Amino acid sequence: MRATRKPLTTRSLTTMKRRGEKIVALTAYDYTAAQILDAAGVDLILVGDTLGMVVLGHETTLPVTLDMMIHHTQAVVRGARSALVVGDMPFLTYQVTPEKALENAGRLMREGGCKAVKLEGGREMAPTVARLVAAGIPVLGHLGYTPQSAHVFGTPRAHGRTESQAEAILADALALEQAGACAVVLELVPATLAAEVSKRLSVPTIGIGSGVDCDGEIQVFHDVFGLYTDFVPRHTRRYLSMAEAIGGAAREYIDDVRERAFPGDEQTLSMDGEVLERAVATIDELAKAG
């Protein structure tokens, strides 16, 4: 039985910031993972477009489509009873025009069932954020390293170390808040800058590789629990090594099957021998007659 918690909303996040309570967030991409995280007490589950890498094996998040996001968001929503589920807006589903963004965000919420969407970008995206919010769609912003711009930035790296970059991130964060964003993700932003942004905003900041002074923290499920083995991000702490554990268990299973140690009597159905004999005799008689 899962403990009953009151479902969290975007307003809950602001309340947590005001109270000084840390917001704990993780990504998830399927029903089972969402169920586990929700039962553990995670506040926010992001159905991230990182599924393109850690689930589908692409090199970047760019190949992820809106239909993929809807499919995975539906599964996560089924598994999360209390955590706030946020869906990522994929590449080029919101950058073209605010109206196209509204159409696509509406689909992600209506068909996917999430309670908010996340999109990347700062001041240039403020009109889009305002359009979505005006239509009743809560929006999380995303600043710093933005994975959908991977081909521009190259490898993941910190953003905000220079004076001009720091000024841009501060201005972008304030613009997103003014446009109505309910929270802002800060990815690979220097800790001191992230702390300053967090202090200036009335809405929560959720960090990833941006220090402990953000209002919350988000990490990728497959990174934290050791399922994704292509590389280990510097900003991740591995709490489990599931790939190693699953690999070891798989090898045990392989050995047991090959050595006829599995399935055993406990995993096998039995039947009355006379019943089988009569069934075989009947089939034999039918075969002779035919």
Summarize the confidence of residues 41-58 as an average pLDDT.
97
* Cβ atoms 80, 38 nearer than 8 A: yes
For the chain, the distance separating the N- and C-terminal CA atoms, rounded to the nearest angstrom, is 56
Domain ranges of the chain: 10-244
The pLDDT tens digits of the residues spanning 155-177 come to 666 778 899 999 999 999 999 99
Q: Which of 99, 120, 167, 187 is catalytic?
A: 187
Q: To the nearest whole number, what is the mean pLDDT of the chain?
A: 94
Which of 130, 50, 52 minimizes the C-alpha distance to 94?
Answer: 130
Per-residue pLDDT tens digits for 138-154? 999 999 998 887 656 55
Q: Comparing 34 with 286, which gets the higher pLDDT?
A: 34
Candidates 133, 27, 12; CA nearest to 87 is: 27
User: Contact at 8 Å (CB) between 89 and 105?
Assistant: yes
Alpha carbons 15 and 182: distance in angstroms, whole number: 11
Q: Which amino acid is at 242?
A: M
Residue 266 appears among annotated catalytic residues = no
Share of the chain above pLDDT 90, in %: 89
CATH no. of 10-244:
3.20.20.60
Task: Please name the residue that has the structure tokens 């050791």.
Answer: 226
Q: Residue 153 has what pLDDT?
A: 58
- pLDDT tens track for 94-153: 999 999 999 999 999 999 999 999 999 999 999 999 999 999 999 999 999 988 876 565
Read off the pLDDT of residues 221-259 as tens digits, 9 standing for 90 and up. Answer: 999 999 999 988 889 999 999 999 999 999 999 999 999
What's the rounded mean pLDDT across residues 194-209? 98
Please answer whether residues 64 and 91 qualify as being in contact, where contact means their C-beta atoms are separated by less than 8 angstroms: yes
